[in-house]
Structure 1
Amino acid sequence: MAGAALTVIAGPAIAQSAASSETVLEQIVVTASKRETNLMDTPVAISAFSQESLDRQGIQSARDLAGTIPNLQLGTGSDSGTAATIRGVTSTDFTEVGEGAVAILQDGFYSPRPQGALALMYDVERVEVLRGPQGTLFGMNSPGGAINIIPARPTFGETFGSVEGLMGNYNKRQIRGSLNWGVTDTFALRAAFMAERADGMIEQEMDLTDIEDAHSGIVKDGIPDVDQRRNRHLSPKDWYNNSDQWAFRLIGRWQATEKLELTGTFSYFSDQGAGDMNFVDCEQAAGTVNACTRTLRYAKVNVPGKKDLTIADYQLKAVYDLTDNIGLEYRTSYQDQKRYQIQDVDGGRHAAPEWSSIGERITPEEQLMGYYPIWDESWETKHSRYETVTHELQIKSRGDSRLQYVAGAYYLHEKKSIRYDMEMLAQKTYYEDPGLPLGFYPDGLPDTVIFDQNKRTTSSRALYGQVDYRLTEQFGLTAGYRYSWDKKTDEGGVTYGSWWGNEAWYNGLWTPNSIRAHQSNNLKWGMGGSAPLNSGVLPATAPNHSKMEWSQGTYRLGAQWFPNDDHMMFASVATGHKMGGMYEMTDTCANGCMKLLTYQPEKVTTYELGYKGTLLDGRFRLSVTAFFSDYSDMQNTGNKVVGVNENPLSPNFGDPVYAWATDNLTKSRIHGLEVEFDVIPWDDGRLSGYLAYLHTEITDGGTYSDGYACNEREYFGQPHCGDPSVANIKGNKLPFAPEWSLTVNYQHSIHLPGGFELVPYVSVHWQDRMFLDIGNYTGAHLGQYQDAYWKLNASLRLNGPENLYFVEAFGENLTDEDTKNFGGFNQGMVRNSYDAPLTWGVRLGYSF
């Protein structure tokens, strides 16, 4: 902050010595305070981008914002979700149960499902990213911050438009366009659309795995041992990590009277792609039995990916001027999101032969690992629907008076239903029993768990208000408070399962008759998850009828000092919260110990000191924010140890019982520094970027249970599960929180004869090591982290006279770095979600 103060003092002198130029940075208006304010006068850590800026950086969805904003990370889940993390505050639960820790909004309307983050980033006026808790004005589920995507609104009395096309590697083709029709001086329409297709960023083959096992007498017989009911040849356009999506938006704006303006928005998004896939971490696997023999993005697939995601949004905003100084605003929305999706979880990577067996476990490695040589797993969202209704009424100040305020009432109701199947078609199930017909229990029996949630609901009601008062011309105060009443219910949710292996899964269509339970030609439709409920897969729980309620107050207090019109210093304390929830009833001992897994809200209190200044006669913008956060009751989601197997018939007797769940684990402290800059260093040049420091530390490990890769750690001679050196996570860093990060962008305009302009652009991003899990595990071959890396993007754009058209060549991730954004572990292998490899192409655009 001393550096910021020095800038305030030295700023006028610097400006006087700067090279004379009429070029200045454009003014940016934001709505972070639910009123329109100048970016540099808004006492919040906020970054804002126009559509032009997004295009130059190749940002086309919320996922692409990673690396462009201080302390923002975006992770990708294979379930179509996007995990947004700001300053280490995150959520990794993509299910219907979970809520994001970073609120995603479209023009201020909250979008609760993480899949919706894919749909919004086209034809926008600007994107605002608010860092730090936004509990007062944006309410629940914004302890990390908020991303507000604001579409371009219609303009009265004018007709204009644009169309853009893109062609790139992976056979990528994209078209985007918009049309503004100013029907009259009081009524206008704006239509926008986008469509995109691209081949999968993967090398994909059919999985026809045919195994052999010498000591059980099984030889290759030409019959695949993995399920072939869905398997088929695919062209690259249908491979995983492809793109097949389109979207449309229509906005109508009507100045009904001098005092009343109405804006209605309809938008529709469709994603028909194959979905994403995780890949084995080849760097971690090197030198082990799991070493990669092909490229990183290689998979053998027997369950082709298919996604059918649609989102329909209806929004209405009515603004009424009660007086010249007081405005009334009413907002209501309805969002209907539907999704079907199926994914091949294993990707053709089966347990290593040295670690697996059919029948009796012979070698020490087989006994320790206990894997079956076939890993054949798929997840299928057979249907899901999320219907969300919101209402919000605001009264707010107008004009430039010393007192500015906003007060409001908010209501949200989300109705959720989903049928989700997790199917493991072969598990290690063998054990000897002379009393059985074969004298043993067959090996490789299947297992299916079905979550049938007919009606889950989330409701939130809130009252809020915030006041900004300028005591003097140079000193201002901010005070805001919100009180929320949140509720979640589960009405009739049932979990079905055949659990660790059951012949009933075959539904009478097959009876295992050898040591190997089945091959692919024994599998038929009508088994397992494809059989009617209560048939091949039986209820594992009684219908769940549960309700949880919370009430929570959040606040913001702040002070601002304006030494002159070009500089502001601010200090604030703000709080935020994310609501709790419940999962299904779970058998925590695999022997009838049923328990409802629940978790409570998390809370964050953040203290900030900041400076915002405009220097060099408007050619230089600088924002500096120092912050400290107290993060309590932190929600952490993953494959949790929930008990010990007490089933004496189970081959896993005595082992931990795991369940995908969220619990409140830790208290953490976070502090850091963010410096953003945007400068015209000389005529026709533009330099921008940020430098960020982030220190996160877990100060209380809570109920953390160390169950990560237990057998593999023993095999590699690493600390056992429960070892104090690993199990005590006090002092660990939060996931998705690199300590240092840096981005620098530069573009330069070269004026050519005839009104043409050539604009080269380059962007460099660097970030420090980042952990992908709260355990911070760094053991060889099992580490959950992304090492420090550099990335380089560049483009060269030719603008036509009066900017009526352009052509641009671009390249992103030019160094072709393989960077992870989300981690996982299965079958002895670290498996991650990776950012896109090197991409390049050409964009063309025309305005009229």
Structure 2
Amino acid sequence: MQTYRITVAALLLAGIATPLLAQQATTAQSDTPAAAEDDAAIIVTAERRDQNIQDVTGVVQSLSAAQLRADGIADLRQLQVAIPGLSIANQEGNIEIFIRGVGSANNTELGDPAAAPHLNGIYIPRPRGLGSMFYDLERVEVNKGPQGTLYGRNALAGTINIITARPRLGETSGYVQGEVANRSSYGFEGALNLPLGATAAVRASGFYANKDFGFRNAATGAQARTLDPAGLEENYGGRLSLLWEPTSALSVSIVGDYGKETGTGYPGANIFPAVIATGLRPDQLDLRDVVYRGQQGVLDNTNWGVQGKLRYDFGSVSAEFNASYRDVDFFQANASSESINWPGRDLDAIQYDNFSNNFWETRSQSQIYELRLFADEESSLRWTLGGFYFKEEQQVGFLSLADRGFCCYSGTEFVMPEVEGKSYAFFADTTYDVSDRLRLFGGMRYTDETKSRYGIGGNLALTLGGENFDCCIATRFGTEGFRPNLLDRPNFDLSNVQTPQQVAQFLIESTKTPGVRDTLIQQIQTIANGTNPNGTCFTRPDIDNGFVTCPVNNPSDRNGGFSYANLGIPTQQVGSAAFNYFDFRLGADFDLSDDSKVYAKVSTGHKAGGFNDSFNGSTIPEAFNPEKVVVYEIGSRNVFELDGRRSVFNLTGFWYDYSDQVFQDLTCINLDQTQVPPVCNGYSLVNRNIGSSRIRGFELETRFSLPARIGLDFNLTYLDTKVTSGIVADARGQDFGAGGNSPLIDLSGNRLPLASRWNVNARIQQAIGLGSGTFDWQALVNYRSAFFLSQFNERDVVFLDGTRQTSLEVGFPDEQKAFATVNIAAGYTIDNYRIEAWASNLFDVQASQKALVGSSLNIRFLNDARTFGLRGRVTF
């Protein structure tokens, strides 16, 4: 620790000294490239007002629309190649954002993201569909560290702000762009800006993108080999923006947008069987070689919204009112797979007639209102006062089906037709100029949140007896053509589901469209309609388990029914949670010169708490509390001249105290207290505030202007993360022979998931006059040192009986090895015409960005495969 402190102190001193020395060496050259001048004058809104990026007291990184194109960034996930310390994964349509190791994998109705996405500064509660907003942009800002005071809700890790292009007054302009790429990809986008008199303008824009998958279907089964792999995308969207500025004091803007995502979805693939069969690590396997089976994966996501801003300048005080409504309608049937392929595997021996699958449905309708009053920027006392209100109504459905089970079990269903969240907050922030060089700043925010939900959750089960009460006749559920009811269920009130007849009807109502070879309805329809309380027994080759036959002689059998029919349905889920919390920031910055300053601050952030699933007779806590982080930060921000060219050198050190951290923990849900001692007969993952961590590190940001119009950006983030407390059940060692019990593991000393120690980003670019136009090129390199994908950090598994095995031996290696990706681009511009070529992930590096770890499951979600193409653009 002492060495670390000395290192950080030395780096910060270097950050102060470097610009001073550079100023002494400044020459009178005046041929500074335009690109460098632009870099030194980037305007951002990280502190809720327009500022030069060098005036921000913190770390914010901004990418313009042109830079995003050159970097090959076409959606939100790809931002991480240009922003060190940022990690973004897509788990079955859930966008999961981590900044400096802080984030959340709980994007269901039970919880919230921990990094707050924004569109034009307005909060977006559900980040599904954000990828369809990456067109006709002005810039994207990534604000690192907690923003609990100025941005508030769920800005524990930081914020990502997508800023769309504004209409331009008095100007008729626009652009048209088209592109083609490998993987059968193509697309176009365009925008048209029209003046409406002298004081108003409208801007219309849209895009279309068709992109093929980066996976290969290794299946050999007749039906399975026709399936398209995961990752196929066909997306389109449109945006209409209106700006009205009748006077210099009044500004009104309205933005409406619509986005549609379709394709085969974003499920992961299980590597567990491949690791067990081969003993190889994931980096020794082809993780994109997947054995698909069952139904074709389907994604259908619609995301639309409207937001408005009204701003009025009263003179020394201004007011801004923001309002937003957003609607998300998401459905995904997973592109289900047997697992990844591995060398020597007999693909023909796989049971392809297996339609086990997961289905997801999420609908969200959110409203946001915010009123801010703020002082003139020229005042020595600049302040902001505001109020914030948020309301979200969600409807969430999930169904997991285990087709071709040996017997007894059919699926799990959690469907919540009523989920409501409300939040209101009051905040104040101020900056005071003590002198021309010294400023003090501080802020505070009070937040009050409530959440509630109503629905059903638990297992769908059938135990159907054969001859002599043998167990059991198998059931097919979810075969080709199957579609679940989910949120279209006719009934969610289990108080009126008591009799076997009602239970059978409730099970049947899980299905909207039966699969062509489903047997469930045929087997229990006569129970539901009352014609035979024991159902209808039959056998068929694909449900014949070889040793159970339908009853013939049993006196309990009436009219061809089962010897017994035990049906299980989910339980009623009613959850609620309420909490409030207080955030603050406090600090000072001091100008060493006109272009150099140092600062120190302490700031806090919270992620909203939530609730857990409930089970009859369980002791699971109904709710979990908000997570909290306190961050201490010092830094130096500097613009200086080097050999007569303007450059940037910023250095920041930080220390995080992360408390009330939520870990998922296996917890008993069915405790039999009739036995001594009590015996648990079932376990489920539960969210608990049982962890704490500390994070320390530093960030280095540099931008250099070199001779020959060469620009060099070099950004580095170092993270030293450590779990300081947290004892959880080790799901990797779950013992179903002991009712699902698992050994405990102390996570203390482990690193936080997805947190590389070293994150390096380097970009070199050059513009050269060529003929009547300009040729430009760039290369972007992103390096991440090794990181862990789960909280277990690949430690040995110690089973209940005391035996110990390595993580690799039991199929759970979870370390992603260090890797580097390279994106390149080159373009030629002449007058209003531009043509450019690009390649993303040039060397087709495979990297896991997320893992789900559980009993016999090590599911990986990967980065995007190599993409290269050609793009043409005309501006007018």
Output the TM-score relative to the length of structure 2: 0.81
Equivalent residue runs for 1:708-787 within 5 Å? 708-710=732-734, 722=743, 727-753=745-771, 755-778=772-795, 779-780=807-808, 781-787=811-817
Following TM superposition, by how much is the alpha carbon of 1:414 offset from its aligned partner in structure 2, in angstroms?
Answer: 0.3
Q: Is 1:824 equivalent to 2:848 in the alignment?
A: no
Residues 505-542 of structure 1: per-residue CA shift (max 9 Å, x gap): xxx9x999997725799999699989976426377555
Provide the secondary structure at the position in 2 that maps to 1:115.
coil
Cα distance in structure 2, aligned partners of 1:273 and 1:5: 51
Change (3 A) 1:293 1:577: closer
Provide the secondary structure at the position in 1 that maps to 2:845.
coil
Q: Which moved further from structure 2: 387-396 or 760-769? A: 760-769
Equivalent residue, structure 2, for 1:377: 356
Aligned with 2:587 (options 558, 565, 579): 558
Cα distance in structure 2, aligned partners of 1:523 and 1:47: 47
Following TM superposition, by how much is the alpha carbon of 1:458 offset from its aligned partner in structure 2, in angstroms?
Answer: 0.8
Equivalent residue, structure 2, for 1:150: 163
Change (3 A) 1:108 1:526: closer
CA contact 2:278–2:342 (8 Å) conserved in 1: no
Q: Is 1:704 equivalent to 2:728 in the alignment?
A: yes
CA contact 2:129–2:302 (8 Å) conserved in 1: no
Cα distance in structure 1, aligned partners of 2:157 and 2:568: 38
Cα distance in structure 1, aligned partners of 2:317 and 2:871: 45
CA contact 1:346–1:376 (8 Å) conserved in 2: no
Cα distance in structure 1, aligned partners of 2:671 and 2:379: 69
Provide the secondary structure at the position in 2 that maps to 1:3.
helix
Aligned with 1:808 (options 836, 850, 856): 836
Equivalent residue, structure 1, for 2:535: none
Following TM superposition, by how much is the alpha carbon of 1:208 offset from its aligned partner in structure 2, in angstroms?
Answer: 4.5
CA contact 1:584–1:596 (8 Å) conserved in 2: no
Following TM superposition, by how much is the alpha carbon of 1:178 offset from its aligned partner in structure 2, in angstroms?
Answer: 1.1
Aligned with 2:390 (options 409, 412, 423): 412
Following TM superposition, by how much is the alpha carbon of 1:115 offset from its aligned partner in structure 2, in angstroms?
Answer: 0.8
Equivalent residue runs for 1:221-232 within 5 Å? none
Equivalent residue, structure 2, for 1:227: none
Cα distance in structure 2, aligned partners of 1:271 and 1:117: 10
Cα distance in structure 2, aligned partners of 1:71 and 1:14: 33
Equivalent residue, structure 2, for 1:577: 606
Residues 602-633 of structure 1: per-residue CA shift (max 9 Å, x gap): 00000110111111156201221100010001
Aligned with 1:685 (options 710, 720, 738): 710
Following TM superposition, by how much is the alpha carbon of 1:88 offset from its aligned partner in structure 2, in angstroms?
Answer: 1.0
Cα distance in structure 1, aligned partners of 2:780 and 2:121: 30
CA contact 2:70–2:838 (8 Å) conserved in 1: no
Change (3 A) 1:561 1:293: closer
Following TM superposition, by how much is the alpha carbon of 1:46 offset from its aligned partner in structure 2, in angstroms?
Answer: 0.6
In structure 1, give the amino acid aligned to 2:761: T
Cα distance in structure 2, aligned partners of 1:64 and 1:278: 17
Aligned with 1:485 (options 448, 472, 478): 448
Cα distance in structure 1, aligned partners of 2:249 and 2:30: 46
Following TM superposition, by how much is the alpha carbon of 1:10 offset from its aligned partner in structure 2, in angstroms?
Answer: 0.7
Aligned with 1:242 (options 232, 237, 246): 232
CA contact 2:355–2:403 (8 Å) conserved in 1: yes
Provide the secondary structure at the position in 2 that maps to 1:16.
coil
Provide the secondary structure at the position in 2 that maps to 1:12.
helix
Cα distance in structure 1, aligned partners of 2:289 and 2:132: 25
Cα distance in structure 1, aligned partners of 2:584 and 2:261: 38
Change (3 A) 1:528 1:49: closer
CA contact 1:622–1:678 (8 Å) conserved in 2: yes
Following TM superposition, by how much is the alpha carbon of 1:743 offset from its aligned partner in structure 2, in angstroms?
Answer: 1.1
Equivalent residue runs for 1:19-168 within 5 Å? 20-21=31-32, 23=34, 24-26=36-38, 27-78=41-92, 80-168=93-181
Q: Is 1:268 equivalent to 2:230 in the alignment?
A: no
Equivalent residue, structure 1, for 2:652: 625
CA contact 1:818–1:837 (8 Å) conserved in 2: yes
Cα distance in structure 2, aligned partners of 1:73 and 1:656: 38
Change (3 A) 1:806 1:526: closer
Taking only the aligned residue pairs, the percentage that are identical comes to 24
Provide the secondary structure at the position in 2 that maps to 1:620.
strand
Provide the secondary structure at the position in 2 that maps to 1:63.
helix
Following TM superposition, by how much is the alpha carbon of 1:18 offset from its aligned partner in structure 2, in angstroms?
Answer: 6.8
Residues 392-430 of structure 1: per-residue CA shift (max 9 Å, x gap): 000112342222221110000001112321112244xxx
Q: Which moved further from structure 2: 386-395 or 25-34? A: 25-34
Question: Where in structure 2 are there 5+ consecutive unaligned residues?
Answer: 1-11, 492-502, 508-566, 796-806
Residues 102-141 of structure 1: per-residue CA shift (max 9 Å, x gap): 0000011110013143232211111111100000011120
Equivalent residue, structure 2, for 1:172: 185
Change (3 A) 1:678 1:545: same
Cα distance in structure 1, aligned partners of 2:489 and 2:248: 62
Cα distance in structure 2, aligned partners of 1:139 and 1:757: 44
Cα distance in structure 1, aligned partners of 2:302 and 2:481: 30
CA contact 1:512–1:518 (8 Å) conserved in 2: no
Following TM superposition, by how much is the alpha carbon of 1:643 offset from its aligned partner in structure 2, in angstroms?
Answer: 1.4
Following TM superposition, by how much is the alpha carbon of 1:750 offset from its aligned partner in structure 2, in angstroms?
Answer: 2.0
Change (3 A) 1:83 1:528: closer
Cα distance in structure 1, aligned partners of 2:680 and 2:236: 47
Equivalent residue runs for 1:180-579 within 5 Å? 180-204=193-217, 208=221, 234=226, 236=228, 239-281=229-271, 284=275, 287-288=278-279, 296-323=288-315, 325-347=316-338, 376-381=355-360, 383-427=361-405, 443-490=406-453, 492-499=454-461, 502-503=463-464, 517=474, 534=503, 535=505, 537=507, 540=569, 543-579=572-608
Following TM superposition, by how much is the alpha carbon of 1:678 offset from its aligned partner in structure 2, in angstroms?
Answer: 1.5
Residues 364-416 of structure 1: per-residue CA shift (max 9 Å, x gap): xxxxxxx99997531112x4320000110001123422222211100000011
Output the TM-score relative to the length of structure 1: 0.84
Equivalent residue, structure 1, for 2:699: 674
Equivalent residue, structure 2, for 1:361: none
Q: Which moved further from structure 2: 268-277 or 372-381? A: 372-381
In structure 2, give the amino acid aligned to 1:791: T
Provide the secondary structure at the position in 2 that maps to 1:122.
coil
CA contact 2:823–2:839 (8 Å) conserved in 1: yes
Cα distance in structure 2, aligned partners of 1:87 and 1:295: 26
Change (3 A) 1:258 1:207: same
Change (3 A) 1:11 1:253: same
Residues 267-322 of structure 1: per-residue CA shift (max 9 Å, x gap): 01111111013124498456249999977332322111111111111111100111
Following TM superposition, by how much is the alpha carbon of 1:769 offset from its aligned partner in structure 2, in angstroms?
Answer: 0.7
Following TM superposition, by how much is the alpha carbon of 1:233 offset from its aligned partner in structure 2, in angstroms?
Answer: 7.3
Structural RMSD (CA):
3.5
Following TM superposition, by how much is the alpha carbon of 1:11 offset from its aligned partner in structure 2, in angstroms?
Answer: 2.4
Provide the secondary structure at the position in 2 that maps to 1:696.
strand
Provide the secondary structure at the position in 1 that maps to 2:83.
coil
Change (3 A) 1:595 1:286: closer
Following TM superposition, by how much is the alpha carbon of 1:182 offset from its aligned partner in structure 2, in angstroms?
Answer: 1.8
Following TM superposition, by how much is the alpha carbon of 1:847 offset from its aligned partner in structure 2, in angstroms?
Answer: 0.7
Provide the secondary structure at the position in 2 that maps to 1:472.
coil
CA contact 2:120–2:161 (8 Å) conserved in 1: yes
In structure 1, give the amino acid aligned to 2:743: G
Following TM superposition, by how much is the alpha carbon of 1:456 offset from its aligned partner in structure 2, in angstroms?
Answer: 0.8
In structure 1, give the amino acid aligned to 2:843: T
Cα distance in structure 1, aligned partners of 2:150 and 2:479: 58
CA contact 1:350–1:375 (8 Å) conserved in 2: no
CA contact 2:290–2:339 (8 Å) conserved in 1: no
CA contact 2:111–2:608 (8 Å) conserved in 1: no
Cα distance in structure 2, aligned partners of 1:295 and 1:706: 25
In structure 2, give the amino acid aligned to 1:722: P
